C-alpha cells in the first residue's frame, strides 16, 4: 500500500486517537488509509446485532468473515456510483434516482436497473427503495414463462402430450407394418415370410423371456393384413402394447370414432397432427428459454441494485463499528455497537456491555487480560428453547453476591427475555472505592472466620466434655463414687497471659512513640498517624485497582469471539461507570419488607465501618497521648473538673 496523500483528520474515541470518518471523501479514500490505523481488520459476518443482509453483502467471498479489503471494495463501489458521497452518511433506506452517477459504469447499470424496477411496478418515482426492488423481483418471478407462451391448439386436449409420446415411440413399428402390408399386396406369397412364424416364437420357449424383450420388440407390430389396414382390436406385439393402447384410445377414437381399422392415409393424418403439436412445443420451449435468460439477466441486475441500496443504508453505521468504535463510546440510547447483545439485570443492577460468546474456551484463555470483572451467563429462552452464552462486564457495585449459580434476566436487542445463570466469574477490580475497603473486608472476613471456627471448636469441645462428664458421672454413680471435683480457676495463669499481651502492645506503642518523638511531631500527629495507617493498609490495593481500571480493554473479549481488533478498546473509569447502572430507591415511609431488610443490612454495614474508623482514630490519639506523657496530665485535668 503506497503512502496516502489524502489529508486525514483524527479524534479521541475511548481514550485513543482514531481516524475520523466524517464525510464522503473520507469513505472514498478509505483504501488509502493505512490499515495500522484501523480499529478492526476483520469480524464475523454472523452473530452480530446488525442488518444481516448488509453483512451478507459485505462478505463478498462468502467465507463467513468481513475483511478490510471487502470493506474497501464496498466503499469504492458506493462512492463511485454516486454523485454525492456525503449522502452515504445519512443512512437512508432509499436512493434518489438523480444521485446515480451515470458516468460510472456501475452507476449507469444501477440507474438502468432502477428504471426497470419502475417499469415492472407500472409507476415512476423519484427515488427507489429496497421494498420497491423486492416487489419488482417478485413480479419478475411471477411472470416467468408468461411471455413465452403463445396460443396453440392442443390436438388431443389434455392427452396431447401422452399421444405425442406414444406416436414417437411406436411410429417406426407402424410404418414397418404398412410397408410389410404393401409387400404382401405386391406378392401374396410373401405373407408367411414377412410375418413372424410360430417356429421363431417357439425358440423363446427355452429362454428366460424377461431377457428377450429386445428380440420380441423386433417382431412385427401385429399380424399382417392382405388389405393393408391396421386393425384396432387384433392382438399386438406385447413389447408395444402400451403405446398402441394409448394411440387407439386417445387418438384413433378421437379422430375416427368407432373405427376398427385405419389405413395408411389415416395414420399419416394422425402423425402430421402430432408433428405440428411437437413443432409448436419446441417453439414454445425456445421462446421460454429466451425469455428466462432475459428474466435472469434482469433479476441479476435488479439484485445488484438491492445489494447497493442495502449498503447505502447501513455502510456508514458499519464503519462506525469497524474503522472506529464510535457507536460504542457515544453511549447514546439509539446508538449501540454491533457487538452489544443486550442488557443483563442481576443483583440490583443492569449491565449494558453484554457480548455473545462463540467459544467459551477462547474466552477463558483471554478474559483475564481484559482487566474487567466479567460474569459469564448461560441464557435460555423458555419459549423457543434456544440457549446462548454471554459475557457481561460489571463496572459498578459490590461483587460479593455475584457467584456461580446466581440467577438474572437477560434482554436481547429485540426485547426478548432469557433466563440467565452465572457459570463463571473473572475477578478484577470494579472501583477504587471497592479497593479501599477490600483489605478491611478481608480482615473482617478473616476475623469472622476465626471466631466462627473458634466458637465451633469450643462448642464441639463443650459437647464432648459434657458427654464425657455425663458418662463419667453415670459410671461413678453406678460404682457409688462421687463425681470428680472441677479444676479451680487459675488467676495467675490468665494474669500471665494478659501481662504478655500488655508487654507486646507496650513494645509496639513504644516503637511508634519513639518514631513520633524522633520526628518531633506536632499536635496533629495522631491524625497523620491514622492517615498514614490507612494509606499503608488501603493504598496498595487502591493503586493496583487504579492501574487496572485505567487499562481495562475490551479487545481480548472480542478477539476471543474471532474479531481481529487492531487497536486497544479501553474502558476507563468514568466511561466504565456508564456501562452498569444500579438501583436507586426513593425515600418512602412505607417500604417493601425485603427492601427494608436490605436497607437495614446496608445500615449495619455503614455503622460497623464508621465505628471501626472511630475506634481506629481514638486508638491512635490514645497511643499518642500515652507515649508523649500527656495522658496523665489530661487525666489530672479531668479529675480537677469533678473535684
Range with the poorest average pLDDT among 128-137, 316-325, 433-442: 433-442
Q: 92 phi and psi, to 5 degrees? A: -80, 155
First to last CA, the chain: 95
pLDDT at 386 over 50: yes
Between residues 500 and 67, the one the model is more confident about: 67
**Residue 221, pLDDT score:** 86
Query: Radius of gyration (Cα) for the chain, nearest Å?
Result: 48
The highest-confidence range among 180-184, 291-295, 307-311, by mean pLDDT, is 307-311
**Residue 2, pLDDT score:** 56
Please state, in angstroms and rounded to a whole number, the distance separating the CA atoms of residues 270 and 256: 10
Between residues 643 and 396, the one the model is more confident about: 396
Query: Is the CB of residue 312 less than 8 Å from the CB of residue 110?
Result: no
- Concatenating the DSSP letter of every residue in 415-460 gives S-EEEEEEEEEE-----HHHHHHHHHHHHHHHHHHHHHHHHHHHHH
Nearest to 340 by CA among 356, 324, 320: 356
Confidence tier at 413 by pLDDT (50, 70, 90): very high
> What is the pLDDT of the chain when averaged over all its residues?
82
Q: 318-355 pLDDT, tens per residue?
A: 999 999 899 999 877 777 899 999 999 999 999 999 99
Between residues 523 and 421, the one the model is more confident about: 421
What is the CB neighbour count within 10 angstroms for residue 508? 11
Please state, in angstroms and rounded to a whole number, the distance separating the CA atoms of residues 440 and 426: 22
**Residue 90, pLDDT score:** 94
Between residues 369 and 623, the one the model is more confident about: 369
Query: Is the CB of residue 355 less than 8 Å from the CB of residue 391?
Result: yes
**Residue 219, pLDDT score:** 84
The highest-confidence range among 188-197, 398-407, 458-467, by mean pLDDT, is 398-407
Please state, in angstroms and rounded to a whole number, the distance separating the CA atoms of residues 242 and 255: 19
Range with the poorest average pLDDT among 23-32, 82-91, 175-184, 453-462: 453-462
Residues 6+ apart with CB under 8 A from 573: 431, 432, 549, 550
| pTM > 0.75: yes or no | no
- As beta bridge partners, residue 408 has 420
pLDDT at 187 over 60: yes
C-alpha cell belonging to residue 95: 436512493
Residues 6+ apart with CB under 8 A from 116: 136, 298, 301, 302
pLDDT at 628 over 70: no
Range with the poorest average pLDDT among 96-105, 523-532, 566-575: 523-532
> What's 344-403 look like in SS3?
EEECCEEECCEEEECCHHHHHHHHHHHCCEEEEEEEECCCCCCEEEEEEEECCCCCCCCC
C-alpha cell belonging to residue 339: 457487538
Q: Which whole number is the average pLDDT over 217-222?
A: 86
Please state, in angstroms and rounded to a whole number, the distance separating the CA atoms of residues 374 and 430: 10
pLDDT at 366 over 80: yes
**Residue 151, pLDDT score:** 46
Between residues 303 and 532, the one the model is more confident about: 303
Type and span of the H or E element at 464: helix 432-479
Q: Which whole number is the average pLDDT over 580-593?
A: 72
Amino acid at each position: 500500500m503506497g503512502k496516502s496523500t489524502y489529508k486525514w483528520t483524527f479524534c479521541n474515541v475511548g481514550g485513543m486517537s482514531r481516524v475520523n470518518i466524517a464525510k464522503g471523501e473520507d469513505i472514498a479514500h478509505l483504501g488509502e488509509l493505512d490499515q495500522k490505523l484501523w480499529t478492526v481488520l476483520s469480524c464475523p459476518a454472523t452473530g452480530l446485532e446488525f442488518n444481516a443482509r448488509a453483512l451478507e453483502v459485505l462478505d463478498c467471498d462468502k467465507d463467513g468473515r468481513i475483511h478490510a479489503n471487502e470493506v474497501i471494495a464496498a466503499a469504492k463501489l458506493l462512492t463511485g456510483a454516486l454523485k454525492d458521497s456525503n449522502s452515504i452518511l445519512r443512512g437512508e433506506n432509499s436512493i434518489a434516482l438523480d444521485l446515480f452517477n451515470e458516468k460510472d459504469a456501475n452507476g449507469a447499470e444501477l440507474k438502468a436497473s432502477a428504471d426497470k424496477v419502475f417499469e415492472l411496478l407500472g409507476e415512476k418515482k423519484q427515488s427507489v427503495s429496497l421494498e420497491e426492488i423486492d416487489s419488482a423481483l417478485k413480479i419478475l418471478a411471477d411472470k416467468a414463462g408468461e411471455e413465452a407462451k403463445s396460443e396453440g391448439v392442443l390436438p388431443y386436449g389434455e392427452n396431447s402430450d401422452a399421444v405425442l409420446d406414444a406416436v414417437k415411440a411406436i411410429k417406426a413399428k407402424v410404418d414397418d407394418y404398412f410397408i410389410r402390408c404393401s409387400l404382401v399386396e405386391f406378392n401374396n406369397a410373401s405373407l408367411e415370410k414377412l410375418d413372424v412364424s410360430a417356429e421363431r416364437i417357439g425358440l423363446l420357449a427355452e429362454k428366460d423371456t424377461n431377457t428377450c424383450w429386445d428380440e420380441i420388440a423386433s417382431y412385427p407390430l401385429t399380424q399382417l393384413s392382405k388389405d393393408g389396414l391396421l386393425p384396432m382390436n387384433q392382438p399386438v406385439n406385447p413389447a408395444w402394447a402400451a403405446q398402441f393402447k394409448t394411440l387407439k384410445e386417445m387418438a384413433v377414437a378421437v379422430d375416427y370414432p368407432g373405427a376398427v381399422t385405419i389405413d395408411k392415409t389415416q395414420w399419416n393424418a394422425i402423425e402430421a397432427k402430432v408433428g405440428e403439436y411437437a413443432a409448436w412445443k419446441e417453439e414454445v420451449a425456445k421462446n421460454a428459454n429466451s425469455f428466462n435468460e432475459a428474466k435472469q439477466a434482469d433479476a441479476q441486475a435488479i439484485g445488484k441494485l438491492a445489494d447497493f441500496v442495502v449498503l447505502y443504508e447501513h455502510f456508514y453505521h458499519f464503519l462506525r463499528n469497524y474503522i472506529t468504535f464510535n457507536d460504542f463510546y457515544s453511549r447514546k440510547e439509539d446508538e449501540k455497537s454491533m457487538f452489544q447483545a443486550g442488557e443483563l439485570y442481576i443483583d440490583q443492577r443492569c449491565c449494558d456491555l453484554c457480548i455473545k460468546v462463540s467459544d467459551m474456551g477462547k474466552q477463558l484463555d483471554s478474559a483475564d487480560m481484559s482487566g474487567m470483572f466479567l460474569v459469564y451467563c448461560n441464557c435460555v429462552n423458555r419459549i423457543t428453547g434456544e440457549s446462548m452464552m454471554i459475557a457481561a462486564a460489571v463496572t459498578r457495585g459490590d461483587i460479593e453476591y455475584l457467584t456461580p449459580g446466581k440467577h438474572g434476566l437477560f434482554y436481547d436487542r429485540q426485547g426478548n427475555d432469557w433466563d440467565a445463570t452465572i457459570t463463571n466469574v473473572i475477578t478484577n477490580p470494579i472501583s477504587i472505592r471497592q479497593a479501599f475497603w477490600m483489605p478491611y473486608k478481608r480482615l473482617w472476613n478473616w476475623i469472622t472466620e476465626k471466631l466462627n471456627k473458634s466458637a465451633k471448636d469450643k462448642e464441639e469441645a463443650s459437647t464432648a466434655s459434657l458427654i464425657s462428664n455425663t458418662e463419667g458421672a453415670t459410671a461413678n454413680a453406678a460404682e457409688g463414687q462421687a463425681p470428680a471435683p472441677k479444676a479451680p480457676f487459675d488467676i495467675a495463669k490468665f494474669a500471665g497471659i494478659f501481662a504478655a499481651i500488655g508487654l507486646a502492645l507496650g513494645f509496639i506503642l513504644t516503637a511508634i512513640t519513639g518514631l513520633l518523638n524522633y520526628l518531633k511531631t506536632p499536635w496533629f500527629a495522631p491524625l497523620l498517624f491514622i492517615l498514614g495507617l490507612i494509606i499503608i493498609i488501603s493504598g496498595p490495593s487502591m493503586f493496583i485497582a487504579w492501574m487496572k481500571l485505567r487499562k481495562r480493554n475490551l479487545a481480548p473479549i472480542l478477539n476471543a469471539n474471532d474479531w481481529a481488533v487492531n487497536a486497544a478498546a479501553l474502558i476507563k473509569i468514568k466511561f466504565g461507570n456508564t456501562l452498569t447502572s444500579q438501583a436507586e430507591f426513593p425515600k418512602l415511609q412505607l417500604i417493601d419488607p425485603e427492601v427494608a431488610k436490605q436497607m437495614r443490612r446496608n445500615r449495619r454495614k455503614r455503622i460497623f465501618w464508621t465505628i471501626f474508623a472511630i475506634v481506629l482514630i481514638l486508638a491512635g490519639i490514645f497511643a499518642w497521648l500515652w507515649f508523649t506523657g500527656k495522658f496523665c496530665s489530661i487525666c489530672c485535668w479531668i479529675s480537677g473538673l469533678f473535684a
